[in-house]
Amino acid sequence: MRPKSILMAVAMAGILYVPAADAATTPERVKVTGEIIDTWCYVTEIMYALGTAHHKCAVWCAVGGIPVSIKDASDKVYMVLKVEDDDNSVANPKILKVQTHQVTVEGDLYVRDGVNYLIVNQVADDKGVVNMTHEDYGIQPFGE
């Protein structure tokens, strides 16, 4: 076989091989700005679940191991699976510390079966808790 046809054969083998390897989701690079929330209370709407009014409950839920998400301005919810190389997504002390904060993060977004899974590569900005909801909603869910 001449060198050219060897190359061609290798290339064709590659083409035949690649599509079978990974039909799974590929990530999209994203920048997300939003509030760190408790996924369960917010998505199910079992109570008012944003800002200062819900901070304590959001801490309970995160300590209880419920996934933490980021909700952006369009109410899109991103479940956080990893933060800056830390793959602990169950009551991670680093994430507990920033519950309810308004943050901007850069990461990789994987969408699968209707769920937005976010791998946070970098927390670019953290404004702390700025969503003052307690004057309207008190302290959720028990009022104290």
Partner 1 sequence: MNRFVITAALMLFAAGSASGAEGWGIDNEKKTRVDAKVVDLLCEVTGDCADNCGNGKRQLGLLLDDGRLVPVVKNQDIFAGAVEDLAPFCGKRITADGLMISNPKMPMFALQFKREAPDGKWSRANWYIKNWSKANPGKPGKDWYKHDAKVLELIAKDGVYGIPGLKPSE
Positions in the binding site for partner 1 (CB under 8 A): 24-25, 27, 39-40, 43-46, 52-53, 55-57, 59-61, 63-67, 69, 75-77, 79, 81-82, 87-93, 96-97, 99-101, 108, 110, 112-117, 119, 128-129, 134, 139, 144
User: Nearest Cα to 95, choosing from 66, 68, 119?
Assistant: 68
Q: Cα-flanking dihedrals φ and ψ of residue 131, to 5°?
A: -90, 95
Among Cu ion, partner 1, none, the one that 60 touches (CB under a kind-dependent 5 to 8 A) is partner 1
Strands 77-83, 115-126: pairing is parallel
Chosen from partner 1, Cu ion, none, partner binding at 64 (C-beta under 5 to 8 Å by type): partner 1
Return the residues of window 17-76 that contact Cu ion according to CB under 5 A: 41, 47, 57
Select from partner 1, Cu ion, none the partner in contact with residue 75, using the beta carbon and a kind-dependent cut-off of 5 to 8 Å: partner 1
| Partner in contact with 24, chosen from partner 1, Cu ion, none, beta carbon below 5 to 8 Å by kind | partner 1
Pull the structure tokens for residue 50: 């944003």
DSSP structural state of residue 53: G
CA 67 → CA 74, 81, 96, 134, 144, distances in Å? 20, 8, 11, 23, 24
Q: Which is nearer to Cu ion, 39 or 107 (CB)?
A: 39
What is the spatial distance between Cα 143 and Cα 139, in angstroms, rounded to a whole number? 5
Residues that bind Cu ion (CB under 5 A): 41, 47, 57
